[in-house]
A and B are shown apart, each in its own frame.
Chain A
């Protein structure tokens, strides 16, 4: 049973996950890892939503988290498909190499 004492720690955890994800997007160069960091950011949002929902005694946060899970799954499908296509074109997967545009 979740008590209100745990609540600040949960928020702290979500803030930590969010910062970790955001930092990863900016630092890492492999699109797959960048993508994983984006998922981490979304999950940080989920943790915050669920924690707030429990704290506020409202179900909206929990329902919202379910929607986000579905959306994140759909995003993974599209993202991996795009990366597979790039890989099949014979390109190395590195975000710094993506400079065909921007002449």
Chain B
């Protein structure tokens, strides 16, 4: 009965080429399994796991760079459910680079906190795999699997310190609110599927394009999907978990999730909203713009009153997400022939945010004391006199977050705001600039504290010494912050090429 009424999907096996084009994801996925097995072999020499993890991440990075040149104008894999384009490769590179830096700073920190278990590295790779799936997802199913893959790994990682109440509390909060958001996301996907009849983004885009008026059920679905994504990107009003989870989770985990989750979430927001729901732009533009402004205001104002660096960076990351969302709100609009579009701005900002935020959190991770994080403002007083290089690096990251030239942070903001002005959304850009002006206060406050004389000259803070691996990570992040700020064109051209090749390519019909 059923076979007659419902045409079955023809049983064709995917070609070997599809598998080969999936190489970056396969390498990281294989690494995830290999690390779990390797954990049984290495015994107490767990730093071997860190080495192996970096090898896998570097191999994945290499495969992504190869994919960047190989993908050309991009095509889809597995009958349209996964993208092989420059956009996903750009995001892959940012994700893998960030993950590798996190792995570098992790072993020493985990040892000092007494939570150096082998599963840590496997879970980081599992979360990275989920994010890479999200970056390339072209089907609602793959998006859902990617989001849950990264979320489940991060729930465990936030509660990685099993004997510490704060860590467990962070894990439970993240789990309950994350599950709540997944419920919204799934229901939204169900509605969009029901109204368009497809789960693949290309077909959804085509179906939306041919309809003239938007159905209320469809719009409800679009809004619910946005709620699900906004939670992952910690945008106001779905940000309430962010400060608590960032503070309670082990700092190396906070470093990881504050950067990579946002990168992956914005990748999927751009693909789904800017390029798939493009014909509904007039409906979602206002919502996205309001959420962006709310994030900028709430994040910056709340960050002013914080007394701990981890919480301050958590609120500032909410504001940063707001700036990035301006680029999404701009969409594909542009009233000039200028090459700065919203998507290019978003991609550049994501790369800039990744190196800067990783660096700032890495400093806190590297300085962590035995069994506790020394992240209170008082604890940083006089850091420059005892650890001049670390303090200088932290100062650089804070300046970049605040948007001072010639760091990447400045150009990230510049491109996003310029895109908004190009699209006649000057008001949105002004909100962003006002928010950045407020943010300078709390970034500089921390920077100045580090250069003040310690209250008690004799007092010895239990700051950890900087290991070679940690120093390398800091150096790489600082170099990225400065070099990509001076050689803007390198990243900008990459972002532009990624934007030009993004799938689904229906935006050009606008």
Binding between chains A and B: yes
Q: Which residues of A contact B (CB under 8 A)?
A: 1, 11, 14, 18, 21-22, 25, 31, 34-35, 38, 41-42, 44-45, 48-49, 51-52, 55-61, 63-64, 67-68, 71, 74-75, 78-79, 81-83, 85-86, 89, 91, 95, 98, 100-102
Known: A14-B187, A35-B179, A82-B155. 11 other contacts (CB 8 A): A25-B176, A48-B190, A52-B193, A57-B6, A61-B194, A75-B175, A83-B172, A85-B159, A86-B165, A95-B176, A98-B169
Query: What's the least CB distance linking B306 to chain A, in Å?
Result: 10
Q: Known: A49-B190, A61-B193. Is A100-B165 also a contact (CB below 8 A)?
A: yes
Which residues of B, 128-155, contact A by the 8 Å Cβ criterion? 140-141, 144-145, 148, 152, 155
Interface residues on B, range: 35 or more
Q: Is the CB of A82 within 8 A of B168?
A: yes
Q: Known: A63-B141, A71-B145, A85-B162. Is A38-B179 also a contact (CB below 8 A)?
A: yes
Interface string of B162-173 (1 = CB under 8 A from A): 110110111111
Which chain A residues border B247 with CB–CB below 8 Å?
Answer: 101-102
Q: Is the CB of A56 within 8 A of B9?
A: no
Q: Is the CB of A78 within 8 A of B183?
A: no
Question: What is the CA–CA distance of A74 and B147 in the complex, to the nearest angstrom?
Answer: 13
B199 within 8 A of A: yes
B40 within 8 A of A: no
Which chain A residues border B152 with CB–CB below 8 Å?
Answer: 74-75, 78
Q: Is the CB of A89 within 8 A of B148?
A: no
Closest to B149 in A: A71
Partner of B141, one of A52, A56, A57, A67: A67
Closest to A86 in B: B168
Q: Known: A85-B159, A101-B248. Is A41-B169 also a contact (CB below 8 A)?
A: no
Taking each of A21, A25, A85, which has the highest tally of chain B beta carbons within 10 Å of its own beta carbon?
A: A85
Sampled A-B contacts (29; CB under 8 Å):
A1-B1, A22-B183, A34-B176, A35-B179, A42-B182, A42-B186, A44-B187, A45-B189, A48-B187, A48-B194, A51-B194, A56-B197, A57-B6, A57-B7, A59-B9, A60-B193, A60-B199, A64-B140, A64-B190, A71-B145, A75-B152, A75-B182, A78-B152, A78-B155, A79-B179, A98-B172, A101-B170, A101-B244, A102-B243
Which chain B residues border A41 with CB–CB below 8 Å?
Answer: 180, 183-184, 186-187
Interface string of B237-254 (1 = CB under 8 A from A): 000000110011000000
Query: What's the least CB distance linking A53 to chain B, in Å?
Result: 8
B5 within 8 A of A: yes
Query: What's the least CB distance linking A25 to chain B, in Å?
Result: 5
